[in-house]
Amino acid sequence: MITKTLDSIESANSTKIAVLDIGSNSFHLVVARVISNTVQILHKTKIKVHLADGLSKDHHLSQDAINRGLEALEIIQHSLDGFEPETVRIVATYTLRKAKNALAFIKAAKKILPYPIEIISGQEEARLIYNGVAHTETLEGKTLVVDIGGGSTEFSLGQQFEPILLRSIDIGCVSFQQMFFNQGKVKRKMVNKAIVYAQQQLALIENKYIKQGWQQCIGTSGTIESIVAIVNKNAIGNKDSNANKGSNDGTLSLIQLETLMEKLIATEDMELLELGDVNEDRRQLIPAGLAILIAIFKQFEIDKMSFAQAALREGVIYEMEDSLTHTNVQERSVQSLASRYDIDTIQANLVLNTAFKLFKHVKKDWQLKSSGLKQLLGWSALLHEIGLHVSSTGVHKHSHYILSNSDLPGFNAEEQQFLAMLTRFHRKRIRLEEVPIFSQFSAKDVLHCIILLRLSVLLNIKRQQDFLPEFTTSVSDNEISLQFPENWLSVRPIIEINLAAEQEKLARIGIELNFL
């Protein structure tokens, strides 16, 4: 007997998730279903925005570009109706990474989409791209993955699911089109300039990759997909050609790329070449993308590259499903740093436990609802003394520097900045003018987390397990009160003195601390 409809079976055993990639050239939305530890892609949307076209030389995003982006979000938001916050992730890449006024775009976007927008680092972008390829392709030995975007190109080298090298270089098809091909013609002089310029940028990273070596090279992104399509459509290096000229099998060789470039130079006008299904917007970027790809083949000494459909957004999709990632990438990054810098784990855990206890006490009244806030507070508690590796003098500043400049896979740019900021202000004076403005976290949330970390560190100043008794915490908007067992403070003057000093520091920023 049938006891469940198909809809009820699906809702009981699956979760719908969505990822929006705010790219330099296009905005990509992917909606997927996670069922029985398997990701099924349900829906994809791509909207051309040309965000990078509006990025000036001094890295300001034009109002026209911002408006184009917001119009795209207006269209996309209908596809996200009904999604819970924890099932949606929005990541922004090169253009918003570089834009000095990125916050203006994000603030306007928040009025359209009620989800946080993460600006991810180039290295994090490379890791997520690799993650997408690793989950959708059969990788044989070490694999080099190349993704040419609108403003940057990401390189990731790994084995199976583990990345080994991750880099991002500021060379992209949109920026190159503006620099070398903005007249709409393909001139040999400009082609050579573009290739040489790209080679110069690649020289900064190529040796590490060549030293590692790889057995397989995979290209992703619309640029490489279009080049593969054009090579096949024009039978460049087809099966009747010499073996060393590549084959018409969906892979690319250097001689195929150079032959295609010669055709572009000979015709000068892209319209005269058979481009198949490559759309008009993408056609204008082909010479720039091709020049970058030729430079990559030359500098990395690549014999053959195949194409994979998966990219950044698929990498994020797979990461959102914990059962597929097996371990939390952020947690692993924190543990790796703690081990590398020989952190006092006993003390770190004491501060962590106190921070979580305080967070639990005040979460409701302080409305600490931002996604990931508790975890970031906890990780800052674990890493607040990382600066001791440099010196005990100014440890908070050293901790801030290390966390600001370390590679932290799994953390977007704001999360890393937030983590570093908390450690910066875990002691000494709080300088509000030095506290960054975040798009993911409100100013109140930021200040409240600073206070919670400071108190957690202070209350564990004796560095002793079982030292801290049960205590209660109550808060109002600008007030926090700690109540300890009767006479506990009076026989522990060092804690009482430090609380009194903290009381003065917090009073300077309008926060009243009470304790008894």
Question: Which of the listed CATH numbers 3.30.420.150, 3.90.550.10, 3.40.50.12280, 3.30.1490.20 matches domain 123-320?
Answer: 3.30.420.150
User: What pLDDT band is residue 269 in, cutting at 50, 70 and 90?
Assistant: low
User: What pLDDT band is residue 323 in, cutting at 50, 70 and 90?
Assistant: very low
Domain 6-119 shares a fold with domain 123-320: yes
Chain position carrying tokens 């790219």: 23
The 3-class secondary structure across 455-512, one letter per residue, is HHHHHCCCCCCCCCCCCEEEEECCEEEEECCCCCCCCCHHHHHHHHHHHHHHHCCCCE
User: What pLDDT band is residue 249 in, cutting at 50, 70 and 90?
Assistant: low
Answer yes or no: is pLDDT of 260 > 60: yes
Q: Mind listing the pLDDT tens digit for each residue in 5-34?
A: 444 444 445 788 999 999 988 999 999 887
**CA distance readout (Å), 441 to 172, 390, 420, 479:** 31, 30, 14, 20
- Bridge partners for 157 per DSSP: 144, 165
Q: Which three-class secondary structure state does DSSP give residue 392? A: coil
- Tell me 436's DSSP state: P
Please tell me which residue, 283 or 20, carries the higher pLDDT value: 20
Q: Mind listing the pLDDT tens digit for each residue in 107-139?
A: 999 999 988 899 999 999 999 999 999 988 888
User: What pLDDT band is residue 85 in, cutting at 50, 70 and 90?
Assistant: confident
d(CA 322, CA 37): 9
User: What pLDDT band is residue 98 in, cutting at 50, 70 and 90?
Assistant: very high
Both tokens of 196, joined, read 């040489």
Answer yes or no: is pLDDT of 296 > 70: yes
d(CA 298, CA 340): 36
| Residue among 151, 188, 192, 190 at smallest CA distance from 173 | 151
Average pLDDT, the chain: 86
Q: Which three-class secondary structure state does DSSP give residue 189? A: helix
Q: Which CATH superfamily groups domain 6-119?
A: ATPase, nucleotide binding domain (3.30.420.40)
d(CA 246, CA 252): 7
Q: Which CATH superfamily groups domain 329-515?
A: Hypothetical protein af1432 (1.10.3210.10)
Answer yes or no: is pLDDT of 431 > 50: yes
The Cα angle at residue 405 between residues 130 and 383, in degrees rounded to 5? 95
**CA distance readout (Å), 512 to 227, 275, 362, 500, 505:** 63, 68, 15, 11, 10
Answer yes or no: is pLDDT of 264 > 60: yes
Q: Mind listing the pLDDT tens digit for each residue in 191-211?
A: 999 999 999 999 989 899 999
d(CA 382, CA 352): 6
Answer yes or no: is pLDDT of 241 > 60: no
Q: What pLDDT is recorded for position 463? A: 84
Chain Cα centroid distance, residue 164: 17
Answer yes or no: is pLDDT of 316 > 70: yes
Q: Which three-class secondary structure state does DSSP give residue 15? A: strand
Number of other residues whose CB lies within 10 A of the CB of residue 138: 7
Answer yes or no: is pLDDT of 325 > 80: no
Answer yes or no: is pLDDT of 369 > 50: yes
Q: What pLDDT is recorded for position 6? A: 42
| Residue among 134, 199, 139 at smallest CA distance from 169 | 199
Q: What pLDDT is recorded for position 4? A: 44
Q: What φ, ψ does residue 155 adopt, rounded to 5°?
A: -125, 125
Lowest mean pLDDT among 15-24, 239-248, 494-503: 239-248
Answer yes or no: is pLDDT of 246 > 70: no
Q: What pLDDT is recorded for position 146? A: 96
Answer yes or no: is pLDDT of 221 > 90: no
Domain boundaries, the chain: 6-119, 123-320, 329-515
User: What pLDDT band is residue 271 in, cutting at 50, 70 and 90?
Assistant: low
Both tokens of 218, joined, read 């995979």
Q: Could you tell me if 503 and 480 are in contact, meaning their C-beta atoms sit under 8 angstroms apart? A: no
The β-bridge relationship of strands 26-35 and 88-92 is unpaired
Q: What pLDDT is recorded for position 43? A: 87
Instruction: Give me the mean pLDDT over the 76-91 stretch.
Output: 89
Secondary structure element (H or E) that encloses residue 20, with its range = strand 14-22
Q: Which three-class secondary structure state does DSSP give residue 213? A: coil
**The model's pTM:** 0.77
Both tokens of 238, joined, read 């087809």
Q: What pLDDT is recorded for position 357? A: 92
Q: Which three-class secondary structure state does DSSP give residue 210? A: helix
The helix-helix angle for 222-233 and 254-267 (nearest 10°) equals: 80
Of the chain, the end-to-end C-alpha distance in Å amounts to: 66
Q: Mind listing the pLDDT tens digit for each residue in 374-409?
A: 999 999 999 999 998 888 888 888 999 999 988 888
